Amino acid sequence: MWVIANPWPPAAAQEQKASEILGARLSGRALQHLGSPVDLLEQDVAAGGIGHSAVSKHGAWRGSTWGQLLNISEERVGKMSVFRFSVVLFSTFIVTLANKDSVVSCRLRENCVLPCSFPPGDDTVIHWMQVSSNKLQVHSYYHNMDQLERQDKLFKDRTSMSSDEISRGTASLKLKRVTFEDQGRYQCYTSTIEGSTDSFIVLNVDVLIQKVDIDRRKDRITCSSEDIYPKPELTWTTNPPSSPQHTLSLSETEDKLYNISSSLIVSRNTSDLDYTCTVRTRGNKKSTTLFKTDNVSVSGSETTIPCKAPTATVQKIVWTFDHHEIILNRSRAEDSYRCSEKWERHVEKVTDTGLTLKDLSSSQEGLYTCEISSDEETYIKITYLEISKAKHIIIIGSVISAVLGVIVLSIGVVCLVKRSRKGGVI
């Protein structure tokens, strides 16, 4: 606990204002080690927050948080009021404020609002400071206007406050184009003739997980997600439960974002499992489930490939052929699906439970991937479609036989006609 009792002698110049005396006293080295509370008090004095109003007119600071901290007392020197201070309970004060920290998550390169409120009153003074390591002046407001002369260059042209909201007791700060350097702890100090308040806000900068990709090639399954902040975590689960062995890779980009990926090998004993990969940060989490591969054998020219998500909140459906060739996609906001030109003649319909194809031939034999997405989860189902060749051979043979039959019959008819004509002439 810091205790400094009455470090300043009475002022000698009787014509100075009480606010000037107070500001001069607070600028001395005696209280420099006390940090931001005294710095803010000095700024408040310079702004007229307590020197001419809150103490000398109303004495409100003696009963406020700062007044209790600095133990303000008043004496008369000629026509002026001179104030003496003693610092008490500093450690307790800091602990009390630390317990009141609120956390705000902001998106990288987007605008963000740091909340702060206070009991409205006259002669409002507001100071925003970043107090994580070095104390940086973020934004100040007094004399009914912004005061940015001491603003740190990191925040230049990126901060604003609303005078209308301030008059109603809202000192929230709008911070534009948030960067990673903006992360940290902020202090919102406010004072009026009625007293002062302090609040502390921790600003976190997040780049949310947009998508978790799963790709299977032969016996290897790879899960990956890119451009994330802060450092993400990746986990695997299976259904039925197992303990899959996997490798993990984490890298950082030039933009300080993270890419994460993990791979595992599917053995004969684990080929019938459903695999779920989950990537999470403090900001959000997303998961993708890869269901076991099914085989569908078709002997006709039309079939339905099943695909149904466990969740009812489907946001998007994408069907692909042989991993890369897009057949169609459909979003929740659209009433109809968008089909590629190549597949228009083969797509009969698409629903939340499957894809119906028509006019099938051996060219449509292969892997069909159904990807269904909701806000936090994605489900992937791979189906191998086999077109039965025996049926096609029978069909082709039947067609050929029919054609040959027609040809033979036609030849026979022609021959009979010719003979008939010859017989008639004779």
DSSP 50-66: IIIIITTTT-GGGGSHH
pLDDT of residue 370: 95
Provide the pLDDT for residue 120. 95
d(CA 391, CA 420): 43
Fold agreement (100-206, 207-291): yes
How far CA 409 is from CA of 378, 397, 398, 399, in Å, comes to 60, 18, 16, 15
Residue-range domain boundaries for the chain = 4-91, 100-206, 207-291, 293-398
Which amino acid appears at position 345 of this protein?
R
309: left (phi over 0), alpha (psi -120 to 50) or beta: beta
Q: What are phi and psi of 352, to 5 degrees?
A: -75, -5
Is the CATH number of domain 207-291 2.60.40.10?
yes
Predicted pLDDT at 390: 53
| Bond preceding residue 7 cis, omega within 30 of 0 | no
Question: Where would I find the beta strands (DSSP E) of 166-245?
Answer: 173-175, 184-192, 195-206, 213-217, 220-228, 233-239
The answer to whether the beta carbons of residues 190 and 184 sit under 8 Å apart is: no
CATH 2.60.40.10 fits 293-398, yes or no: yes
pLDDT at 305: 95
Tens of each residue's pLDDT in the chain, 426 residues: 333 333 333 333 333 334 433 343 333 323 333 344 445 555 554 554 443 333 333 333 433 444 444 444 444 444 444 444 444 333 333 333 444 799 999 999 999 999 999 999 999 999 999 998 889 999 999 999 999 999 999 999 999 999 999 999 999 999 999 999 999 999 999 999 999 999 999 999 999 999 999 998 889 999 999 999 999 999 999 999 998 899 999 999 999 999 999 999 998 888 889 999 999 999 999 999 999 999 999 988 899 999 988 876 888 999 999 988 999 998 877 767 899 999 999 999 988 889 999 999 999 999 999 999 999 999 999 999 999 865 444 444 555 666 666 676 777 666 666 666 655 544
- For the entire predicted model, the pTM comes to 0.68
Q: What pLDDT does residue 424 have?
A: 54
At residue 302, the pLDDT reads 92
Q: How many CB atoms lie within 10 A of CB 89?
A: 15
CA neighbours within 13 Å on the CB side: how many for 124? 23
Class of domain 100-206: mainly beta
Check if the beta carbon of residue 55 is closer than 8 Å to that of residue 83: yes
